[in-house]
C-alpha cells in the first residue's frame, strides 16, 4: 500500500510481529486504542528503552577545535572575506581527520570560497575530493549542482561574482519565467485570513455526497484569476535533500548544521535560533531515532516537528486541553477552521489539526500502524527527558495519531526546478533542460479544502521553490461550480486510461475518484480526435468565429516556442474561454491550450508534446 504521498509503506511492519490490530476495532475511544497499542508494544519489548546510539551510527563527533575553526570560516565567508575563510576552512580540514564528514564539510566550504575567489580549478578539485569522501549523502545533490556551476565557470574562464542573497546563492533560474498577471490581487478582493493565506472573497465551502467538503465559486471566474494564496502550516525538508534550511527552506550554499544533532541544517544563525524556539530543542535529541522508525520517514519527522512546535508553544497542559476538547466537540465539519466571522484561520493549530484525516475509514491495519509509530515516538520523547504524566499519555498519543493521519492525507511535496546538467544545444548555457524534484513536504490548510479532479480548473502558479502557493484558475469556472486541482502529476494524468487514474487515486490518495472526467469516461489525451475535423460546436452562430480562432491557435502552436508561451497568456485565456462556451469537450485543441496554460503558469520548461 502507499501513503497519501504515493510512497510505498509496509503497514504490516508491526502487525507481522504482533498480530493484534483487530482488537483495536473493539475498543471504543481513540485514547484506549492508543494505550492498548502502547501496552502491547511494551509487553513485547518493542518500546525503546534507551537513547544510546549504536557505535557505528555515522554521526560525526564534533570536536571543539573543529567547531571553532569551522564556524569562524563560515563567519568570514558570510562577511565575504573569502581569502581568510579559505585559510580557516583549510585549518578545520586539518582538525577533521581525512575521510570523516567533518573533513569533507570543511573541504566543500573551502571549494565555495575558492569559487568566489575565481579559482575554479582548485575549487573543483576540492569538490571532487569531497564527492569521493564522507560528504553527507543526503546533501550529495548540492555537490553535483555546485560542481556543474564551477565547471561551467571554469570553461568560460570568467571571474564573475554570483548573485548573493543573504547567505544563499541565487542562480537566477527562475527570473526568466514571467507570469501572465501579477499575483498580488485576486479577482474580487480577498477574503481575509489570519495573516497566513487568503481566499478570494467569492469562494464558499459546500458539501457534496461523494466528495465531502469542497470549494465553490459564487461568481464567474476567468482563467488567470488568482483564487487562493496559502502558506504551509508546517513544513520540513525531505531527508534526501536535507541541505535546505530547516527553518525557512532556503537552499544555502553554506549549510550550518545543528551543533547538537548534526542532522539538520540552517541557512543562518537566525534560522537556527528560531528553529530551536519553535521546537527543535524537543526533537533534536531524538530525531536520529525517529529516522529509523518504519513508514514514511519524512512524514514521521514532520509529525514530530509539528508536535514539538505545539508543545513548545503551548506547553503540555494547554495542548492536551485543546486537543481533548476538540475530540469531544460535535462541531459541524463544514465550519471547522472558520471563526465566528466566517474567516478561515489557516494559521491556527486547530484548523490544521481538524483537516480531513479519514481516520474513520482507515483500514484497521493502518490505524494500528499509526498508533505504534505514535507510541514509539512518545517513548523517545520521554526518554529524552520530556515529562508526560500518565493522565496525559492517552491524549498526546491520540493527537499524534491524528497528526500522522492528517499529514498522510494532506501533506504535499514542494518541488524545485533545477537545471539538468546535460546541455541540449551544444555548450550553450541558456539551453539547460530543467527538471523538477521534490525538496520538502508541507501541509497547506487552505489547499487541503480543495477536492481533486483529473480535469482540474485551478493550478499552482509561480516559482516552484517558494513555500507560498498561489492558485490560479486555468479554465473558466462558472458561478456555482466547484474548484478542483489535480492531486497527481497532471501531464501523466491526462495521458492515462480511466482505470489507471482511478487506481492511483485509490492507492495513493485512498478515495474513488468521482470527477467528471472519470464518471464520463473521457478518452485518454492521445485518443482524443485531433484538430478541427473533430470539432463539435455547441452554438452554431459562433461556428465561423470558433473555426477561425482554432486555425489561429494551430498556427500559434506551430510558430511559438514553448519557452515563449508565458508571454501569450492573455491570448490563451481568451481562446480557452471561447472554446469553453462554444465547443463540446473533450476537444483536442482545448486540451492543448489547457496544457500550455499550465506550463506557462508553473514555469516548467520540459517539452510539451501536442501529437
- The alpha carbon of 538 is separated from its chain's Cα centroid by a whole number of angstroms, namely 41
Nearer to ligand SAM, 1 or 358 (CB): 358
552's CB contacts (< 8 A; 6+ apart) are none
Q: Taking the CA atoms of 155, 161, 165 and 168 in sequence, report the sign of the dihedral they define.
A: positive
Give the footprint of ligand SAM on residues 12-41 (CB under 6 A): none
Nearer Cβ to ligand SAM (405/461): 405
Residue placing its CB nearer to ligand SAM in the complex, 249 or 409: 409
> Which runs of consecutive H residues, i.e. helices, occur in 187-341?
269-275, 281-283, 287-290, 297-314, 316-328
Least Å from the CB of residue 221 to ligand SAM:
19
Nearer to ligand SAM, 37 or 354 (CB): 354
| Nearest CB to ligand SAM, comparing residues 379 and 482 | 482
Among 406, 443, 448, 550, binds ligand SAM (CB under 6 A): 448
Q: Does residue 451 belong to the site contacting ligand SAM (CB under 6 A)? A: yes
Integer Cα distance of 236 and 127 in angstroms: 27
End-to-end CA distance of the chain: 34
Q: How far is the C-alpha of 352 from the C-alpha of 346, rounded, in Å?
A: 7
Helices (H), 464-586: 490-495, 498-504, 516-519, 543-559, 569-582
Give the x-and-dash track for 108-147 against ligand SAM (CB under 6 A): ----------------------------------------
97 contacts: CB under 8 Å, gap ≥ 6: 103
Per-residue cell: 70: 569551522
> Which residue's CB is nearer to ligand SAM, number 57 or number 516?
516
- Which residue stretch of 122-130, 274-282, 302-310, 506-514 sits at the interface with ligand SAM (rule: CB under 6 A)? 506-514
Helical (H) or strand (E) element with 78: helix 64-78
Q: Which set of grid coordinates corresponds to residue 89?
A: 576552512
Is there binding between residue 402 and ligand SAM (CB under 6 A)?
Answer: no
Regarding beta strands 484-485 and 451-452, do their DSSP bridges make them parallel or antiparallel, or are they unpaired? parallel
Question: Computed from CA positions of residues 12, 18, 19, 22, in that sequence, does the dihedral angle turn out positive or negative?
Answer: negative
Task: Give, as ranges, the residues between 172 and 211 that touch ligand SAM (CB under 6 A).
Answer: 210-211
Instruction: Provide CB contacts within 8 A for 193, sequence distance 6+.
Output: 199, 343, 344, 345, 346, 347, 446
Task: Give min distance, CB of 447 to ligand SAM, in A.
Answer: 8
Q: Does 442 bind ligand SAM (CB under 6 A)?
A: no
**Binding-site member from 91, 110, 173, 213 for ligand SAM (CB under 6 A):** 213
Does residue 556 bind ligand SAM (CB under 6 A)? Answer: no
With DSSP H G I counted as helix, E B as strand and the rest as coil, what are the percentages for the chain, rounded to 5?
50, 15, 40
Site for ligand SAM in 243-272 (CB under 6 A): none
User: 576 burial class (0-12, 13-18, 19+ CB within 10 angstroms)?
Assistant: buried
Q: How far apart are CA 609 and CA 282, in angstroms?
A: 49
Q: How far is the CB of 351 from ligand SAM (least distance, A)?
A: 11
What DSSP state is assigned to residue 293? S
Residue 132: CB partners within 8 Å, gap ≥ 6? none
Nearest distance, CB of residue 235 and ligand SAM, angstroms: 16
Contact call for residue 299 and ligand SAM (CB under 6 A): no
Q: Which is nearer to ligand SAM, 332 or 390 (CB)?
A: 332
405-434 positions binding ligand SAM, by CB under 6 A: 409-410
Q: Which is nearer to ligand SAM, 159 or 519 (CB)?
A: 519
Q: Does 514 bind ligand SAM (CB under 6 A)?
A: yes
Minimal CA–CA distance to 2: which of 407, 373, 508, 487?
508
Please select the residue that binds ligand SAM; options are 60, 91, 452, 585, rule is CB under 6 A.
Answer: 452
C-beta of 329: minimal distance to ligand SAM in Å? 16
Task: Identify which range of 62-70, 173-181, 307-315, 449-457 contacts ligand SAM by CB under 6 A.
Answer: 449-457
Work out which of 36, 344, 493, 511 binds ligand SAM, going by CB under 6 A: 511
**The total number of residues written for the chain in this structure:** 611
Q: What is the CB neighbour count within 10 angstroms for residue 431?
A: 13
Q: Is 2 among the residues that bind ligand SAM (CB under 6 A)?
A: no
Choose the stretch contacting ligand SAM; rule: CB under 6 A; options: 212-220, 233-241, 437-445, 595-603. Answer: 212-220
Give the x/- contact pattern for ligand SAM in 328-357, rule: CB under 6 A.
Answer: ----------------------------x-
* R_g of the chain, CA atoms, integer Å: 26
Angle at which helices 297-314 and 316-328 cross, to 10°: 110
220 binds ligand SAM (CB under 6 A): no
Of positions 515, 535, 579, 596, contacts ligand SAM by CB under 6 A: 515
For 52, the grid coordinates are 544510546
- With contacts defined by CB under 6 A, how many residues of the chain interact with ligand SAM? 19
The binder of ligand SAM chosen from 234, 513, 569, 600 (CB under 6 A): 513
Q: How far apart are CA 105 and CA 108, in angstroms?
A: 5
Under rule CB under 6 A, residue 359 binds ligand SAM: no
358 makes contact with ligand SAM (CB under 6 A) = yes
Closest approach, Cβ 349 to ligand SAM, in A, equals 17
Of 168-176, 217-225, 470-478, 509-517: span binding ligand SAM (CB under 6 A):
509-517
| Smallest separation (angstroms) from ligand SAM to the CB of 208 | 8
Q: Quick check: 212 binds ligand SAM (CB under 6 A)?
A: yes
Nearest Cα neighbor of 334 from 483, 480, 193, 213 is 213
Stretch that binds ligand SAM, among 235-243, 250-258, 295-303, 447-455 (CB under 6 A): 447-455
By CB under 6 A, residue 589 contacts ligand SAM: no
State the greatest distance between any 2 C-alpha atoms of the chain, in Å, as a whole number: 82
- CB of 487 vs ligand SAM, minimal distance in Å: 7
Helical packing angle, 588-602 and 543-559, nearest 10°: 50
Query: Of 129 and 498, which has the nearer Cβ to ligand SAM?
Result: 498
Distances in Å between the Cα of 458 and the Cα atoms of 18, 472, 511, 578, 605 are: 45, 5, 20, 18, 20
User: Under the criterion CB under 6 A, does residue 449 sit at the interface with ligand SAM?
Assistant: yes
Name the residues that contact ligand SAM, by CB under 6 A.
210-214, 356, 358, 409-410, 448-449, 451-453, 510-511, 513-515
Amino acid at each position: 500500500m502507499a501513503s497519501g504521498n504515493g510512497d510505498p509503506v509496509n503497514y504490516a511492519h508491526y502487525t507481522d510481529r504482533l498480530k493484534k490490530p483487530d482488537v483495536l476495532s473493539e475498543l471504543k475511544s481513540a485514547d484506549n486504542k492508543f494505550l492498548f497499542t502502547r501496552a502491547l508494544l511494551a509487553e513485547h519489548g518493542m518500546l525503546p528503552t534507551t537513547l544510546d546510539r549504536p557505535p557505528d551510527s555515522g554521526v560525526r563527533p564534533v570536536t571543539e577545535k573543529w567547531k571553532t575553526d569551522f564556524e569562524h570560516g563560515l563567519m568570514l565567508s558570510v562577511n565575504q572575506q573569502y581569502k581568510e575563510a579559505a585559510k580557516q576552512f583549510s585549518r578545520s580540514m586539518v582538525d577533521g581527520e581525512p575521510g570523516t564528514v567533518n573533513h569533507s564539510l570543511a573541504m566543500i566550504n573551502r571549494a565555495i570560497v575558492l569559487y568566489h575567489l575565481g579559482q575554479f580549478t582548485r575549487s573543483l578539485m576540492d569538490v571532487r575530493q569531497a564527492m569521493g569522501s564522507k560528504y553527507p549523502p543526503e546533501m550529495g545533490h548540492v555537490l553535483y549542482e555546485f560542481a556543474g556551476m564551477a565547471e561551467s565557470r571554469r570553461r568560460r574562464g570568467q571571474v564573475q561574482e554570483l548573485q548573493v542573497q543573504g547567505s544563499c546563492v541565487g542562480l537566477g533560474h527562475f527570473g526568466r519565467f514571467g507570469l501572465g498577471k501579477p499575483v498580488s490581487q485576486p479577482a474580487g478582493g480577498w477574503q481575509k485570513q489570519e495573516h497566513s493565506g487568503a481566499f478570494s472573497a467569492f469562494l464558499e465551502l459546500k458539501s457534496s455526497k461523494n466528495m465531502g467538503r469542497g470549494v465553490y465559486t459564487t461568481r464567474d471566474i476567468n482563467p488567470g484569476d488568482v483564487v487562493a494564496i496559502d502558506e504551509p502550516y508546517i513544513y520540513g525538508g525531505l531527508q534526501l535533500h536535507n541541505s535546505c534550511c530547516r527553518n525557512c527552506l532556503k537552499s544555502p550554499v553554506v549549510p550550518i548544521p545543528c551543533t547538537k544533532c548534526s542532522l539538520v541544517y540552517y541557512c543562518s544563525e537566525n534560522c537556527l535560533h528560531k528553529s530551536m524556539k519553535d521546537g527543535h530543542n524537543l526533537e533534536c535529541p531524538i530525531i536520529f531515532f525517529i529516522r529509523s522508525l518504519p513508514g514514511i520517514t519524512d512524514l514521521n519527522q514532520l509529525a514530530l516537528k509539528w508536535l514539538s512546535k505545539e508543545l513548545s508553544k503551548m506547553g503540555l497542559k494547554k495542548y492536551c486541553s485543546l486537543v481533548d476538547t476538540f475530540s469531544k466537540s460535535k462541531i459541524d465539519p463544514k465550519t471547522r477552521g472558520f471563526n465566528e466571522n466566517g474567516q478561515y484561520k489557516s494559521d491556527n493549530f486547530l484548523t490544521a489539526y481538524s483537516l480531513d484525516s479519514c481516520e474513520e475509514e482507515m483500514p484497521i491495519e493502518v490505524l494500528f500502524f499509526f498508533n505504534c509509530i505514535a507510541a514509539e515516538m512518545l517513548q523517545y520523547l520521554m526518554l529524552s527527558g520530556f515529562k508526560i504524566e500518565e493522565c496525559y499519555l492517552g491524549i498526546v498519543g491520540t493527537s499524534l495519531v491524528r497528526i500522522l493521519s492528517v499529514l498522510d492525507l494532506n501533506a504535499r511535496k514542494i518541488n524545485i526546478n533545477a537545471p539538468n546538467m546535460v546541455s541540449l544545444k551544444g555548450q550553450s548555457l541558456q539551453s539547460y533542460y530543467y527538471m523538477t524534484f521534490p525538496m520538502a513536504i508541507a501541509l497547506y490548510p487552505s489547499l487541503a479544502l480543495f477536492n481533486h479532479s483529473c480535469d482540474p480548473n485551478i493550478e499552482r502558479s509561480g516559482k516552484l521553490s517558494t513555500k507560498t502557493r498561489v492558485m490560479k484558475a486555468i479554465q473558466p469556472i462558472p458561478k456555482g461550480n466547484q474548484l478542483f486541482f489535480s492531486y497527481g502529476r497532471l501531464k501523466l494524468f491526462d495521458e492515462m486510461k480511466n482505470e489507471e487514474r482511478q487506481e492511483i487515486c485509490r492507492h495513493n490518495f485512498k478515495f474513488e475518484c468521482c470527477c467528471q472526467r472519470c464518471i464520463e469516461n473521457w478518452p485518454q489525451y492521445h485518443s482524443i480526435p485531433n484538430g478541427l475535423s473533430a470539432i463539435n460546436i455547441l452554438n452554431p452562430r459562433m461556428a465561423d468565429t470558433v473555426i477561425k480562432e482554432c486555425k489561429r491557435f494551430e498556427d500559434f502552436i506551430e510558430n511559438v516556442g514553448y519557452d515563449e508561451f508565458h508571454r501569450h497568456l492573455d491570448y490563451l485565456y481568451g481562446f480557452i474561454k471561447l472554446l469553453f462556451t462554444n465547443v463540446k469537450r473533450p476537444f483536442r485543441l482545448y486540451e492543448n491550450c489547457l496544457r500550455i496554460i499550465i506550463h506557462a503558469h508553473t514555469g516548467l520548461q520540459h517539452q510539451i508534446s501536442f501529437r
